[in-house]
Structure 1
Amino acid sequence: MSRGGIFHLKVPESSPVGSAIGRIRAVDPDFGENAEIEYNIVPGDGGNLFDITTDENTQEGVIKLKKPLDFETKKAYTFKVEASNLHLDHRFHSVGPFKDTATVKINVLDVDEPPIFSKPMYTMEVYEDTPVGTIIGAVTAQDLDVGSSSVKYFIDWKSDVDSYFTIDATEGTIATNELLDRESTAQYNFSIIASKVSNPLLASKVNVIINVLDVNEFPPEISVPYETSVCENAKPGQVIQTVSAADKDLSPAGQRFSFRLSPEASTKPNFTVHDYRNNTAGIETRRSGYSRRQQELYFLPVVIEDSSYPVQSSTNTMTIRVCRCDSDGTILSCNVEAIFLPVGLSTGALIAILLCIVILLVIVVLYVALRRQKKKDTLMTSKEDIRDNVIHYDDEGGGEEDTQAFDIGALRNPKVIEDNKIRRDIKPDTLCFPRQRPPVEDNRDIRDFINQRLQENDVDPTAPPYDSLATYAYEGNGSVAESLSSIDSLTTEADQDYDYLSDWGPRFKVLAEMFGEEESYNPDKVT
C-alpha cells in the first residue's frame, strides 16, 4: 500500500450529525482494483467526534460526523486513519504488514449562528399579590460568533396571548403586566425569543415557567352545610356532629385548621367544640334534658382559624335542631307540628282528623252554594213560568207579522233591550249614506204640510193602526208640471180611462183587457 500522507478537510460548524464531511483513498499496488480496503481511526484526538466507513464501490474512506462541532469551543482537529487490505496472500506474509497510516486535519469553519441562552429552561416564582410592573426575573442569551452582535429579547405572543408578562428588549428582565390570581392560574408557561440585532433572522427560543405563590387572603370555612340534630334524651359529653373546614386559598402542604367556640357562646352551657387537631372537630353536648317545647333550635357560633400568614379566621354559625329519639338514639321526629301534639297521638290519627275537617268544609261550601243558587232562581224569572208568558194572536193589527214587534224580555229586564229592533211588519229601508242637500231657505210649507197630514190621519177612523208608518211625498208648491203625487190622483179607478191601452198595440193587449174589463162588462149582453 502507498505510505504516508496528510489530508486537510474544512468542515462548517453547522454540519449535521451523521453527515459525510470528507473522503480519503488508499491504494494497494499488488492487488490493484481487487483489493478490499478497511479504514479505522486510530484512537486519539478525533476518535469520539468522527467515524470512518468504506465505500464498497470506490473503496474510499468516508469520514462522518458523530457529534456537532462548535467553532467557539475548538477550531481544529487532527487524528490518524489506518488503512489495511482484507484479502492477504500468505506467500507475502514475510514481506511485512500490508497497512498504511495517514494523518487527517479538520479545520472547523465559523458559521453565523443564533444567540445561545445561558440555560435550557428558566423557572421563576412570584406572589399572587405582586403589583403590576414588578421585575420577577431575567433571561440571558449571547452571540458566540466572532465579532459577536447584541441580542434583542421579546415574548412569543402565541404562548402568552393574554399578555400577563412583559420583557425588556435589551436587558431581558421579565415583569408582571397584570394582577395574578393563584386560584385562577397557578402556573404560566411561555416562550422567550432572542435574536441577533445584526441578523434578526437568526433567533433562538427558550421556555420560561413562572409559578404563582399563594397569599393567604381567604379565611377557612366549614366545608359543607351540616344538618345537626340533638336528641331530647342526649347525655352530657355526647358527640352529635363532626365538622371539617375548607379554604379557598390553595394552601401549602401541612396547613392546619383550629376550631373553637366564639367568646359569646362559651358562657352558655349547651354545647361545646372539641378540636381533634387533625383539621376536624366534634360538636359535643354539655348537659342533658333538651326539650322541643322549650327551644326547638340552637345556634352555635364556631371560630375556624388557619395557620398561613397572615392568619385568617371566620365565624361559622351551626344550627342544631332538637328531635325526639328512641332509647337507642334513633331520631323519630324533628317536625315542628310534633311539638303541639299530645303525647301518644300518631301521625295517622292526625291525618284522619285533618281529612275529616276537609270533608266538613267541602259539605258546608256545597250547602251554601246550593242555597245561593236557589235564592237566585227565586228572584229571576224562569222561561217556563206561565205568569211571564204572553200569548200572541195574529188576528189584527198591521199585518200577520205584527206580533213580532214586541219582546217580552224587555219588560223583564229593561237593560237588555235590543237596539235598533226592526219591525217585521214594515219593510226596512235600504241602508245608504245620507246625501248632502243644499240648505233650504224656508221649510215652513213642508212643516205645514206634515202637520196637516197628521191631523187628517188622527181624525180619520179608517187610518192604519198606530204602529203603522204612513209615508207622504211632497215636492213643494208652485211647480209648473203640477203635482205628481198619488195623493192628488183620482180616488177611484172608475175615473181612470184605460181605453188608450188598446191603441198601443198587441204588447199592451193584456193590460188593456185587465183595466178595461170592468167598463166593457154588460150583464144584458149575451155572448
Structure 2
Amino acid sequence: MYNMRNISTWLSVLLELSAIWPCVISMNLLSFTTQEMKLTNHVRVKRGWSWEPLYVTEEQEVKKPMYVGQLKTDSDGQDGLIKYILFGDGAGTIFVMNDYSGKISVLKKLDREEKPFYTLRAQAINRYTGVPVEAESEFVIKVLDINDNEPQFINRPYIAEVLEMSPKGTYVTQVIATDKDDPTHGNNARLVYNILQGQPQFSIEIKSGIIRVASQIDRETKDQYHVIVQAKDMIGDAGALSATTTVVINILDVNDNAPKFQQKTYEMSIIESATIGEIVGTILADDFDIGKNAEINYLIEERGDYNMFDIHTDSLTQEGIITLKKLVDFESRSRRYNIQVRAENKYKPEFFDTATIRIYVVDVDEPPVFLEREYFMEIPESVPVGSYVGSVTAKDPDTTDTVIRYDILHNKHSRSFEIYPNNGSIFTMKSLDREVDLWHNITVTATEAKSPTYTSYVHVYIQVLDVNDNAPQLEHIPDIYVCEKSRLEQPVHTITAIDKDEPKLSHPFSFTQPPEESTNANFTFADNEDNTATILTAQDGYSSQDNPLFYLTVIISDNGTPSLTSTSTLTIKVCDCGIDNNKESCGKGGFFFKFMNSGAVIAISVFILLILVLALLVHVRCRKKHNIMSEKGEDLKENIVKYDDEGGGEEDTEAFDITGLRHPTVMRERKPRRIRRTDIQSMYRLSLGLGPDVAIFKEFLTEKLEEANTDSSVLPMDYLHCYAFEGTCSPSGSLSSLSFTETNVSEIDPYY
C-alpha cells in the first residue's frame, strides 16, 4: 500500500509539471525512476505472489484454451501496469498465461502416464519500464489421474510345477500384475486377483497373486492344468479394468503306483536245440508312474524250475526278457517248465506283482553231438605214415539213433591226416616234422547218413611230439682271430651251439676234437656246460708269417637218445694285435693287409696281367676270323632270323624255312632231296622279297650238317648258326661269319 501511495503522489506531481514544462516530462520520468530505485534499495517493502492450487485432469478433450488457474502478485492494482510472463516446461505450447490477469490455460489434452506434472516459472514486471515488480517464482501444475489403464501381467509366460498328492495350501507360483495409473490417487491402481479357470484344484490369494493347491491332485488322472487368472483395478469396483493370463501348471510324478502284469499266466515255447543265453520270450508289467518311478526289476522266484531260466530287464522298454540258463532236451526229461516271475518297483520293492510262466520244449531234428567240445591229441614226429593218432565220437541226440559219417574239412593241415568215416579214427597221411609244424589244427565233421544237412563240427588239435632227430649246429661261424703274442691256455673265442629239438631232449651239448687233432693241437676246447665252449690256445705265441691260418675241427654232440653229432671246421686267423695285444683291429682289415704284404699283391698282379694277355689274344683272333670270313666275298651272307619253334635240334630241319644263301658258283653236288615243308616261310625273306629258292639253301644246310657231323674241328653240334640271304654283287662285301675258306676252318675255336 505504501508503494501504491508513492506512485500516486509522483503521478500528481508529474501532471502539474506537464502543464508548465512538457519538455521536461521525460527527464522527470527518468528522475522518478532513479528515485524509486533508490527508495527500493533503502526501504524494505513486503510484497508476494498468491495463487490457487493448479491441476489439470488427464485425457480431457481441449477444443479451446481451458482455464487451469491464476497467478497474481499483491502489488497488482488492477490498473494494467503489471505484465505477467510464463516460463518453463510447456510454456507457450501446452500452457499459456494472460499477461494482464495472470490466468493460466491449457491448450491440449494431457496424459498423466506420459508426464504427471509440469514445472513452470512466472514473473511480474512493469509493463512500461520492464522493471520486475516481483521476483521470479516457480510453481507446479499437476496432471490428475483417471482410471484409463488396465492392469498388465509381468514375467509371462507362467509355467509352474507341483508334485501330485501335495497337501492343501502347497505353494505353486505367484502372478504379478502392474497398473500404470496413479497408485496415490484413489483406487485406480489397486489390484485384486481371482481365478477364472482352475478350480477347485487351485486357489489364489486375492491381493498377492500367490497360487496354492486347493485339493488333492493325481498325475495319473491329469498331468497338466491351465489356470486362468484375472487381475482387476479399483479393488474390483464398478468401472474397473481387468486383464487375464494363463498359468500352465505341470503335475510332477511321485512313485505311488505298483507294477501290474497284463495277465497272470503266460505260455512260451523253446526248441530243444536252443543254446544258453537264447531268448525264450518277453513279459511286461505296467506302471502308471513315469520316469525313474516307473523303472521295474524282474526276477524269478525260487519256485518250480527257477534254475533253468534267467530274466533281466530291458532298460529301454522296461520288458522282462527271459533267457535260457541251462540246455533243455526234449528226449531226456520233462517237456514243460513252470516258473513264477516277480515284477517290483526299482526304488520301492514293496510295490510288486507276480505272474506264472509255462515254457514248453519243442522237439527238433538235431545234428550229431560230439562227446567233447574239442579234442587234443599227441603223436611223435618219428611215426611212419598211416599211424593211428586218435578218435572222435559223435552221437545223434534224437530218439532215433542214426548212422554218423565223419570227415575232415580241407586246409593246409588236414592234408597230413585222414579219418575213417565210420568210427572217427584219425591216421597220418604224411611224415610229420615237429620243427616245421608243432601243432596241426583240423576240423572234423559229423553228419547223419540219412540227413546230410545236419552236420556238427569239432576242432581237433594234434601236437607233434619231439624226437631227437636234429644234430646240434653252431649258431654262426664267426671270424676268429688269435694274437701272435698269445700265451698258453689263453681264451681266444667262445662258440655257441643250437639244436632245433626241444632242450629237454638235446641239452646239454658237449664239444670235442677229433682224436687225430687232439694229439697235435694248436688249440683246445673248454666246455662251459651251458651249450657254449671256449677256444683256448695250446701253445705260446703264433706267427702270421709262418702260419697265418689254422683250421680247428669241433665235434658237437647232444644229450639225446641216441646222441646226434655234427662236425664244423673253424678258421682261426693269426693277427698282430699290437703292443696292447688288442684284437679289435683284426676284423677291420689288418689281417688282409698283412696277407697282402706276404706276396698276395704279386700274385694278384700276375693274374691281372694274364687276364689282359688273354683278352688281347681273343681280340686278335676275332679280327683274324673276321678277315678269313670276308675272303669268300659275297658268296655267303649273315642274317638273324627269329623262329618261334622248339624243334629237336640240328636234325630237325623240317621246322625251318630259310632262304638260300649260297651263290650259284659255289654250289656243290646235289644230293637226293628230302621231303621238306614249304608252308613255313621266312618272314624276313618274305619282307625283303629276295633270295634264291628255298630248296637250294636247304641242300646247303644238309651238306653243312653232314660236314659238321664228321669234322671234329668245326663248331660244336649244338652251336647256334644264323643264316640269311643278302643278295649278290654287294660292293661292300659280306659281313657274315661264314665267309672263310676251308683251309682255316681248323683255326676256329670250337668253344668260341
Structure 2 residue 401 is the aligned partner of structure 1 residue 148: yes
Match of 2:304 in 1: 45
Match of 1:501 in 2: none
Task: Report if the CA contact (8 A) 2:270-2:280 is conserved.
Answer: no
For residues 57-79 of structure 1, the C-alpha deviation after alignment (integer angstroms, 9 at most, x for no partner) is 9x9x9773343541145423223
267 and 80 in structure 1: CA distance in 2 versus 1, 3 angstrom threshold: same
Match of 1:128 in 2: 381
For residues 392-435 of structure 1, the C-alpha deviation after alignment (integer angstroms, 9 at most, x for no partner) is xxxxxxxxxxxxxxxxxxxxxxxx9xxxxxxxxxxxxxxxxxxx
100 and 285 in structure 1: CA distance in 2 versus 1, 3 angstrom threshold: closer
Task: Report if the CA contact (8 A) 1:20-1:62 is conserved.
Answer: no
From 267, 290, 296, the equivalent of 2:519 is 267
268 and 15 in structure 1: CA distance in 2 versus 1, 3 angstrom threshold: closer
Q: Which has the larger radius of gyration?
A: 2
Task: Report if the CA contact (8 A) 1:131-1:179 is conserved.
Answer: yes
Where does 1:250-289 land on structure 2 (aligned, <5 Å)? 251=503, 255-289=507-541
Match of 2:427 in 1: 175
Match of 1:315 in 2: 567
100 and 7 in structure 1: CA distance in 2 versus 1, 3 angstrom threshold: same
For residues 187-221 of structure 1, the C-alpha deviation after alignment (integer angstroms, 9 at most, x for no partner) is 21121111122322111111111122233223222
Match of 2:366 in 1: 113
- Compute the displacement of 1:154 (Å): 0.5
From 229, 233, 242, the equivalent of 2:481 is 229
110 and 317 in structure 1: CA distance in 2 versus 1, 3 angstrom threshold: same
144 and 241 in structure 1: CA distance in 2 versus 1, 3 angstrom threshold: same
Overall identity of the aligned pairs, in %: 35
Match of 2:271 in 1: 12
Task: Report if the CA contact (8 A) 1:303-1:314 is conserved.
Answer: yes
Task: Report if the CA contact (8 A) 2:413-2:440 is conserved.
Answer: no
Structure 2 residue 329 is the aligned partner of structure 1 residue 77: no
107 and 294 in structure 1: CA distance in 2 versus 1, 3 angstrom threshold: same
- Compute the displacement of 1:170 (Å): 1.4
Task: Report if the CA contact (8 A) 1:154-1:167 is conserved.
Answer: yes
CA distance in 1, matches of 2:451, 2:305: 33
- Compute the displacement of 1:123 (Å): 1.6
Amino acid in structure 1 at the alignment position of 2:273: S
241 and 20 in structure 1: CA distance in 2 versus 1, 3 angstrom threshold: closer
SS at match of 2:494: strand
**TM-score under structure 1 normalisation?**
0.53
328 and 73 in structure 1: CA distance in 2 versus 1, 3 angstrom threshold: farther
Where does 1:165-204 land on structure 2 (aligned, <5 Å)? 165-204=417-456
Q: Which moved more, 1:302-311 or 1:329-338?
A: 329-338
SS at match of 2:415: coil
- Compute the displacement of 1:169 (Å): 0.9
CA distance in 1, matches of 2:415, 2:428: 9
Match of 1:425 in 2: none
22 and 288 in structure 1: CA distance in 2 versus 1, 3 angstrom threshold: closer
From 318, 323, 341, the equivalent of 1:65 is 323
- Compute the displacement of 1:84 (Å): 8.6
- Compute the displacement of 1:168 (Å): 0.9
Match of 1:92 in 2: none
More strand by share: 2
187 and 98 in structure 1: CA distance in 2 versus 1, 3 angstrom threshold: closer
Task: Report if the CA contact (8 A) 2:414-2:442 is conserved.
Answer: no
For residues 82-108 of structure 1, the C-alpha deviation after alignment (integer angstroms, 9 at most, x for no partner) is 68999x9xxxxxxxx998866544332
Amino acid in structure 2 at the alignment position of 1:150: V
107 and 264 in structure 1: CA distance in 2 versus 1, 3 angstrom threshold: same
- Compute the displacement of 1:249 (Å): 4.1
Amino acid in structure 1 at the alignment position of 2:325: K
212 and 85 in structure 1: CA distance in 2 versus 1, 3 angstrom threshold: closer
CA distance in 1, matches of 2:272, 2:489: 82
Amino acid in structure 2 at the alignment position of 1:19: I
Q: For the aligned residues, what is the CA RMSD?
A: 4.5
Amino acid in structure 2 at the alignment position of 1:270: N
CA distance in 1, matches of 2:545, 2:341: 107
Amino acid in structure 2 at the alignment position of 1:139: V
Structure 2: runs of 5+ lacking an equivalent: 1-259, 287-294, 610-630, 632-752
Aligned residues: 331
Match of 1:238 in 2: 490
SS at match of 1:336: helix
For residues 465-506 of structure 1, the C-alpha deviation after alignment (integer angstroms, 9 at most, x for no partner) is xxxxxxxxxxxxxxxxxxxxxxxxxxxxxxxxxxxxxxxxxx
Amino acid in structure 2 at the alignment position of 1:78: N
**TM-score under structure 2 normalisation?**
0.38
Match of 1:479 in 2: none
CA distance in 2, matches of 1:314, 1:188: 30
- Compute the displacement of 1:260 (Å): 1.9
Amino acid in structure 1 at the alignment position of 2:323: L
CA distance in 2, matches of 1:231, 1:18: 78
228 and 78 in structure 1: CA distance in 2 versus 1, 3 angstrom threshold: same
291 and 164 in structure 1: CA distance in 2 versus 1, 3 angstrom threshold: same
For residues 200-243 of structure 1, the C-alpha deviation after alignment (integer angstroms, 9 at most, x for no partner) is 21111111111222332232222222322323222111111211
197 and 70 in structure 1: CA distance in 2 versus 1, 3 angstrom threshold: farther
Q: Which moved more, 1:138-147 or 1:217-226?
A: 217-226
Amino acid in structure 1 at the alignment position of 2:580: D
Structure 1: runs of 5+ lacking an equivalent: 27-35, 89-96, 342-349, 362-415, 417-527
Amino acid in structure 2 at the alignment position of 1:64: I
CA distance in 1, matches of 2:525, 2:539: 14
For residues 289-335 of structure 1, the C-alpha deviation after alignment (integer angstroms, 9 at most, x for no partner) is 32344433322221111123321112222222333332311455563
For residues 161-187 of structure 1, the C-alpha deviation after alignment (integer angstroms, 9 at most, x for no partner) is 762110111111111111122233222
339 and 289 in structure 1: CA distance in 2 versus 1, 3 angstrom threshold: farther
Match of 1:324 in 2: 576
229 and 11 in structure 1: CA distance in 2 versus 1, 3 angstrom threshold: closer
From 462, 479, 497, the equivalent of 1:210 is 462
